[in-house]
Structure 1
Amino acid sequence: MTAVEANFDGLAGPTHNHAGLSWGNVASTGNARRLSDPRAAARQGLAKMRLLAARGHVQGVLPPHERPHLPTLRALGFAGGDAAVLEAAWRADPNLVLACSSAAAMWTANAATVSPSADTADGRLHLTPANLVAMPHRAIEAEVTARVLRALFPDERRFAHHPPLPAHAAFGDEGAANHTRLAAGHGAPGVEVFVYGRRAFGGGPAPARYPARQTREASAAVARRHGLDPARTVFAQQAPALVDAGAFHNDVVAVGNGTVLLHQEDAFVDTPAVLAELRQALAATGAELTAIAVPAARVPVETAIRSYLFNSQLLDRADGGMLLLLPVECREEPAVAAWVDELLASGGPVREALHVDLRQSMRNGGGPACLRLRVVLTEAERAAASQAAFLDDGLATALEGWIDRHYRDRLAPEDLRDPRLLDESRTALDELSGLLRLGPVYDFQR
């Protein structure tokens, strides 16, 4: 079956800021309280989308969420008009306003887990929005994410939408940041790989310093919902030591595409056993795994996390090879740059590297792979999806103008208490929802 991989990237929102909310994400906490530039953040992300669309990749756009999120503050007991709610919450505890103002929905690798129709029992594409219960500032995203996904993929004959998993730590689900798919081709039956940080029940190894956000129980529940073949579904535990080093999601230590898995040499608990299981599962589909391990002796774990080597995008090229899309920080780290040069010279499947400037996102711990949700679509499914969200030159130009009209170029955490910023954000999002033809997906529109 003919299919393409569409990358749906999230736009940074008007409240993009460096509040340092994500415990376990060393870039996020290390840059806490620095000034941010929301306009640059959105422009940088859009430039990446433009670059890939110009190279022939199918590129979609996912919108920011409404922030500050007043419904959450009201649910916490703050009453009155919008300005009064913001001021009362700030005076009670600024951290509440910060948590309700995060633009973290831009990292759409956490938006959902998506299983293509080639893998599912009913032949539909399945989507489960992530509950993101590990972090308060992200746990408020799931409802709007579900609305957006339903607006983009409305045909229930082709798309199966599931609600988020129960909002409990035992079922902590972080979406596609802990999920990848390996297959001989996008339209071929594939092997879906779910990576978890801990078991909620039954014990076993777990990180000691930072939280393991994804549970095995959550991964198994998503696989069951999506009707995946157990013979082509692999569950692997991420090495606890890497979580404690700052690899809060698996996409910080591994990235896959096609039949290629690029990974830190000790990415998993018993990595050799995980690779053996992947080889066996892929072999049953007639495909062969190509595993590329990066030794810690060549690229130390801390360097890989700081540069986000593995939070890159592996993408198909027309010649059958692959493109590695990296943040510019990888070019600035000598050990990473040298290893990438050797990878390209090795004659393997990765034949090209491109570096993109995503510094505003990177300062919060989000690289190229964090910004995109991969959705494999057949021709019929692509036709059934909302066409307004697929990027072309016209939409990209319109989004650039929209960003320049509505975004500030300087934002401090203290600015998040300003009711004018709330009004600016709502005005921007109202216009954007019309531009992308989403309908009333935001609370203030309903």
Structure 2
Amino acid sequence: MTKHATEANFDGLVGPTHNYAGLSFGNVASQANEKRLANPKQAALQGLHKMKSLAALGYRQGVLPPHERPSTDLLRTLGFKGDDAYVIREAARMAPELLSAASSASAMWAANAATVSPSGDTADARVHFTPANLAFNLHRSIEHVTTQRLLGAIFHDERHFAVHPALPGTPVLGDEGAANHTRFCGDYDARGVEFFVYGRRVYGGAAAPVKYPARQTLEASQAIARRHGLSDDAVVYAQQRPDVIDAGVFHNDVIAVGNQQVLFCHAHAFVDQASVYEALREKLARTGVTFEAVEVPDSDVTVADAVGSYLFNSQLLARGDGKQVLIVPQECRENTRVAAYLDRLVESGGPIAEYRVFDLRESMRNGGGPACLRLRVALNEAEIDAVAPGVWMNDALYDTLTAWVERHYRDRLGFDDLADPQLLVEVRTALDELTGLLGIGPVYGFQR
């Protein structure tokens, strides 16, 4: 599958503190499973299985390491004093909700790690990364510092890559990363059209949801496009429908996914959807590519079905024969309407000719499907060679990481476990070993 240029997927490796704290307001699955016991070991192994399976199919597959959790830096910023063990015990006693936020393994959802613009689109012909500030949620707003370090270690060659800091963490510039960004193109190294989807517009006004927050702003998307050196004729902005945000579509990747010339989306994904299609069609045509929308009618799959099954939180991957394969979670087979639609879809003769099902139950219960777990990075051959080589998934790395998870991860985790200072010792021991296994150097604060 790998050729002159390719789209690599870098999946977040689920961290040892994976738990169900229900921290993400507006994420229906996250809130519904609050306080359930989690299985970090199973979660990590499920994610590794997906990575290995896609690598075995010939796709470029990389690994993004977990973040250090619990974050004692956050707890100290919030006024807790003493050594690490005392800080954790006092936070558990005085402010358990803050300890939950400091312990979240949410960095596993790499679609929120950053927005990425390939070298074919940028003014300086480098791949640009802007880590998401994730300003809406406390537990996620602390991620961008480590994310920037990790991206800087993996994409370290400044001749090919530019890793920016996050945008300022203000609601005006709320940025949730690639979960609200899609790139359309022909060949991956050719010029494409970057599609930014926002939930609200701060300046100038626009309709907004009333039940759940709109996390991505137009202003943040525009700032990233400017920072990455994108031309106006190669960018399209679209607004999510406020009513679908209120139905639990907290990111665009819960209602739409795209790859190359194909957009797969629900009929209720965007405000003025016909105009969105027309803008994409017109700008993509200038690159010599014909845009194709595969729109799912509400009569076949409702928004509630989409949120419950994560049909659109899937990966759309090029097969190499002009067709696409859809990577979906097991929940799509368990919803009878979604399963029936998928069978009709692949029989229709359209651009999506195949789908493959993966069990990602541990991630799904926290509100993250296949698309949440990966950050897409289009790379040419020279850029592939410039990536830190130890992060590419293959059989040997899969075996190594599986053994690492088996050694270091617990198979049960609830809130009482977060209050155990020994958990932080286990996490640091595991991460210190992991950076050596991946060859990325000391990226965590405790290693410095």
Give TM-score scaled by structure 2 length. Answer: 0.99
* C-alpha distance in 2 between matches for 1:16 and 1:393: 25
Q: Who is 1:407 aligned against?
A: 409
> Which amino acid letter does the alignment assign opposite residue 237 of structure 2?
F
Quote how far apart the aligned CAs of 1:318 are: 2.8
- Select between 306-315 and 179-188 the one with higher mean Cα deviation: 179-188
Tell me the residue number matched to 1:274.
276
Deviation digits for residues 163-198 of structure 1 (CA, Å, limit 9, x no counterpart) = 100110100000000000001121111000000000
Name the CA distance, whole Å, in 2 between partners of 1:186 and 1:239.
Answer: 29
Deviations 1:42-70 (A, max 9, x none): 00000000100000000000000000000
Structure 2: runs of 5+ lacking an equivalent: none
Q: What SS class does the counterpart of residue 100 from structure 1 fall into?
A: helix
The answer on 1:256 being equivalent to 2:245 is: no
Amino acid paired to 1:187: D
Corresponding residue to 1:138 among 118, 137, 140: 140
Runs in 1 of length 4+ with deviation above 2 angstroms?
none
Q: Distance in 1 between matches of 2:145 and 2:445?
A: 10
Corresponding residue number in structure 2 for 1:424: 426
1:31-46 correspondence to structure 2 within 5 Å: 31-46=33-48
Which of residues 318, 321, 328 is equivalent to 2:320? 318
One-letter amino acid of the structure 1 residue matched with residue 258 of structure 2: G
Distance in structure 1 (CA, Å) of the matches to 2:263 and 2:30: 27
Counterpart of 1:216 in structure 2 is 218
* Alpha-carbon separation, structure 2, partners of 1:442 and 1:211: 32
Output the amino acid matched with 2:63: V
Shift of 1:2: 3.0
Distance, in Å, in 1 between the alignment partners of 2:315 and 2:149 is 26
Question: In the alignment, what sits opposite 2:288?
Answer: 286
Q: Is 1:387 equivalent to 2:389 in the alignment?
A: yes
Distance 1:142 1:401 in 2: 28
Deviations 1:279-336 (A, max 9, x none): 0011111111110111111111101111000000000113221110000000110100
Matching of residues 19-418 of structure 1 within 5 Å: 19-418=21-420
Give the counterpart letter for 2:31 in structure 1.
T
Query: Following the alignment from structure 1 to structure 2, what is the Cα–Cα distance between the partners of residues 418 and 312?
Result: 36
> Equivalent residue of 2:263, what SS?
strand
Residue 419 (structure 1) shift? 0.5
SS at match of 2:168: coil
In structure 2, distance between residues paired with 1:357 and 1:336: 16
Instruction: Name the amino acid aligned to 1:372.
Output: R
Secondary structure at 2:341's aligned position in 1? helix
Give 1:199 shift: 0.8
Q: Which amino acid aligns with 1:85?
A: V
Q: Please tell me the residue identity of whatever aligns with 1:61.
A: V
Distance in structure 2 (CA, Å) of the matches to 1:413 and 1:319: 48
Deviation, 1:415, is 1.0
Q: 1:437 aligns with which of 436, 439, 443?
A: 439
Any unmatched runs of 5+ in structure 1? none
| Partner Cα distance (2:233, 2:240) in 1 | 21
**SS in structure 1 opposite 2:290?**
coil
How many residues were matched structurally? 446
Distance 1:438 1:295 in 2: 46
Mapped to 1, the partners of 2:74 and 2:365 lie a distance apart of 26
Deviation at 1:229, TM superposition (A): 1.2
**Is residue 33 of structure 2 the alignment partner of residue 6 of structure 1?**
no
1:217 Cα offset (Å):
0.2
Partner SS for 2:325:
strand
Alpha-carbon deviations, 1:1-26, whole Å to 9, x = none?
Answer: 93111000001100000000000000
Q: SS of the residue aligned with 2:103?
A: coil
